[in-house]
Amino acid sequence: MNILIHPTYFPSISHYVAMMKAETITFEVEDNFQKQSNRNRMYIYSPNGLQLLNIPIVNSSEKHQKYKDVKIDNSTDWQKNHSKSLEAAYRNSPFYEILEYDFQPIFEKKHSFLLDLNFQIFEIINECLRVELPFSKTTEYFHETNQFTDFRNLVNGKKDTFTNDRYTQVFEEKEGFLTNLSILDLLFNEGRCAKDYLKNQLI
């Protein structure tokens, strides 16, 4: 299957299931930015349950701003806050200490553009999963397409109804199993097994 999908901030498990099953991946980069989407947010399993981590963006005077033109608001130390939140959530997971250094560049380098950050994240996650996922980028926007299997709706967490199989989560005994979190939740809990896990999911 040839898929059309968004690059997002530490993508959800559903994103990676779709990409792992794809023959070709085309990233949507010509759309308009929409607030409250996974373009600049992810969900993790914190000691208090489901937690949203959101990247602040620079407000634009334009009514419709292209996703590729969105700039990160680095006036606040959001990277430090996100890093601390991940540590609190996953320091007791089996693979946190092994993988935390792979993700340090994300919380040290200050990108100007959100899209550049999301592509760097994509590369690092692929290295952690030990997979190669070649991709291309859109050059124009299509409201509808017959050329691809369209997974662009997954960028909107409210419309993403994907439910993945259970795996061990750090706070599962306290809060129960939470489905379709950021790929980080799967990586920190399952390590190298995450690759086979993703391949075995249905979407």
pLDDT tens digit string along 117-170? Answer: 999 999 999 999 999 999 999 999 989 899 999 999 999 987 889 999 999 999
Please count the structural domains in the chain. 1
- Encoded tokens for 157: 């967490």
Report the alpha-carbon distance of residue 61 to residue 17 in Å, rounded.
36
How far is it, in rounded angstroms, from Cα 43 to Cα 165? Answer: 17
Q: What is the pLDDT of residues 27-82, one digit of tens each?
A: 999 999 998 999 999 999 999 999 999 999 998 877 789 999 999 999 999 999 99
Rounded to two decimals, the pTM is: 0.95
pLDDT at 159 (0 to 100)? 81
Q: Range of 145's domain?
A: 2-199
CB atoms < 10 A from the CB of 115, how many?
22
E strands in the chain: 2-5, 24-27, 41-46, 49-54, 135-137, 149-150
Beta bridge partners of 53: 42
